[in-house]
Amino acid sequence: MISGSDKNNNEGKTMNKRPRAVAVIGWILVVMGIFSMFATSVNLKNPKVIASMQETPLPMSMQYAILTLGVMIMTICGLGILKGKNWARFLYVGWGVFSFLLAIAIGTMQITMVPGLLIFLVIAFFLFRPGANAYFSPKARGEDRQS
């Protein structure tokens, strides 16, 4: 029989409840990652998109690699966030910062990217709030530091 104190206890390890904002963010990243896989493949067949990509200093092959990696990272981070993996939120934020810095460095940063930047900042804010920090804490999740 499970006592009331054992409901959240697995061999002395307490499981921390996932904050709703973290769950929403995780699912948004997964859905957007899957959607982006299809949207990217369609957009890369558009002559206007190809012409725009050819105007940047990065070779096309590098741009394809960055796009593909970005979509994969978004999806993997979403799944990792849903599973409470601390590395997932840091990878998401790190990749987002890298992407925006790259856009600035190669001169593709445009006013149209501002909404995406704002959404990124809101997501980062919610991923590092106290409740999220507790959820992602290996100690609170009953994991050792090596996993």
pLDDT value, residue 6: 42
User: DSSP secondary structure string, 30-81?
Assistant: HHHHHHHHHHHHHHTT-HHHHHHHHTSSS-HHHHHHHHHHHHHHHHHHHHHH
Residues of the chain with pLDDT under 50: 1-14, 145-147
CA pair distance 35, 44, nearest whole angstrom: 14
Contact status, residue 43 vs residue 71, Cβ threshold 8 Å? no
In a domain? residue 56? yes
pLDDT value, residue 114: 87
pLDDT value, residue 8: 45
CA pair distance 36, 74, nearest whole angstrom: 9
Domain count across the chain = 1
pLDDT value, residue 91: 97
Range of the structural domain that residue 55 is part of? 19-137
In a domain? residue 3? no
In a domain? residue 103? yes
First-to-last C-alpha distance (Å) of the chain: 31
- 0.85 surpassed by pTM: no
pLDDT value, residue 130: 94
In a domain? residue 29? yes
In a domain? residue 86? yes
3-state percent breakdown (helix, strand, coil) of the chain, nearest 5: 70, 5, 25
pLDDT value, residue 7: 43
CA pair distance 66, 60, nearest whole angstrom: 10
In a domain? residue 119? yes
pLDDT value, residue 2: 45
In a domain? residue 146? no
In a domain? residue 13? no
DSSP code of 106? T
Query: Two tokens at 71?
Result: 């979509």
pLDDT value, residue 109: 66
